[in-house]
Amino acid sequence: MKRKRSVGGILFDILNTLLMLIILVLVLYPFWYVITCSLSTPSQTTGSLLLWPKGFTLESFKTAFETEAVYSSLLISVERSVLGSAGMLLVSGMAAYVLSKTHLIAGRFFRVFIIFTMYFNAGTIPIYLTYQTLGLTNTFWVYIIPMLVVPFNIVLMKNYMESIPPSMEEAVLIDGGNELTAYFRVILPICLPVNAAVILFSALTHWNSLMDTQLYNSMSPHLYTIQYVLYNTVAAQMSQTLEGARSAGSAALVNSQSLKMAFTVITIIPVMCVYPFLQKYFVSGIMIGSVKE
């Protein structure tokens, strides 16, 4: 079907397409630059906007993976992303199921008790002292335990569960099963789309997290995450923090630009890999959340 088009309309279409192309370049080029830079020979990278790697080499990645800190921190980051998101699904999922029950004793109290923490926290120092008193600081568990209960995810899952007809779980309950069985046998599998969304989002939050290492584990180099190692490598020279200077030992190893970019690429790649799934599930997640919250 052909539309009659005015000169103004055609001009608008051309300008609009051009604008979108410019936006694409503005968003994509920084990432592309980081990648090309990491693949270039270190001495040749400085000072130009590259379109293709200059003197293609995998040397920087080889050096990066030979750095003990990179290897161990990658492992820590993967561990916390996997364990953290699985634990979150277990704890927050059960809570969401219980809170979705309208006949729950003191239901309103429990709902407010948990959801209120979305808008409020006791502050950096009181939380730090609490974790210290509980013996969480300088352990791996400080990454996992505080992120098991995520109110936002609970709200998302609860909304989804409320849309499931009660008849689905009644079969189990009538046969003398309890809610625990009903949840794990029936409800959890039905919630697959929302589970995927919250798991991906939680894993990503774990992967991207920087401050918990800085606040609670900066004295334990064996617990550094990849984000923290990247931070120390790239940003510490500008930082006013003493912590930065302390870990300068690891930064001194890496001073060439392409090596820093290789670190950055290593940190981005996992995000790129899960992005197609993230995009698919997260968009629906935003929608559920914004409509019903």
Q: Is 22 in the site for other proteins (CB under 8 A)?
A: no
b/e sequence 259-279, b meaning 16+ C-beta within 10 Å: bbbbbbbbbeebeeeeeeebe
Beta carbon nearer to other proteins, 65 or 282? 282
Query: Residue 291, CB half-sphere, CA atoms under 13 Å: how many?
Result: 8
Q: Which two tokens stand for residue 80?
A: 């916390």
Question: How far apart are the C-alpha atoms of 81 and 19, rounded to whole Å?
Answer: 38
The footprint of other proteins on this chain (CB under 8 A) covers a number of residues equal to 99
Question: How far apart are the C-alpha atoms of 271 and 201, rounded to whole Å?
Answer: 11
Q: Is 43 in the site for other proteins (CB under 8 A)?
A: no
Asked whether the beta carbons of 200 and 277 are under 8 A apart, the reply is yes
The full DSSP string for 21-59 is HHHHHHHHHHHHHHHHHHTS-HHHHTTS--SS-SS---H
| Closest distance of CB 169 from other proteins, Å | 8
Q: Of 64-72, 179-187, 189-197, 245-253, which part binds other proteins (CB under 8 A)?
A: 179-187
Selected from 122, 248, 269, 273, the binder of other proteins by CB under 8 A is: 122
Q: Is 176 in the site for other proteins (CB under 8 A)?
A: no
| Closest distance of CB 277 from other proteins, Å | 11
Question: How far apart are the C-alpha atoms of 84 and 96, rounded to whole Å?
Answer: 17
Axis crossing angle, helix 68-99 with helix 192-208, rounded to the nearest 10 = 140
Q: Is 146 in the site for other proteins (CB under 8 A)?
A: yes
Beta carbon nearer to other proteins, 58 or 122? 122
Q: Residues 198 to 257: which contact other proteins by CB under 8 A? A: 204, 207-211, 214-215, 227, 230-231, 234-235, 238-242, 257
Q: Is 34 in the site for other proteins (CB under 8 A)?
A: yes
Q: Residues 254 to 293: which contact other proteins by CB under 8 A? A: 257, 260-261, 263-264, 267-268, 271, 275, 278-279, 283, 286-287, 290
Beta carbon nearer to other proteins, 57 or 234? 234
Q: Is 163 in the site for other proteins (CB under 8 A)?
A: no
- Its sign, for the CA torsion 274, 279, 280, 283, is positive
Selected from 11, 18, 117, 248, the binder of other proteins by CB under 8 A is: 117
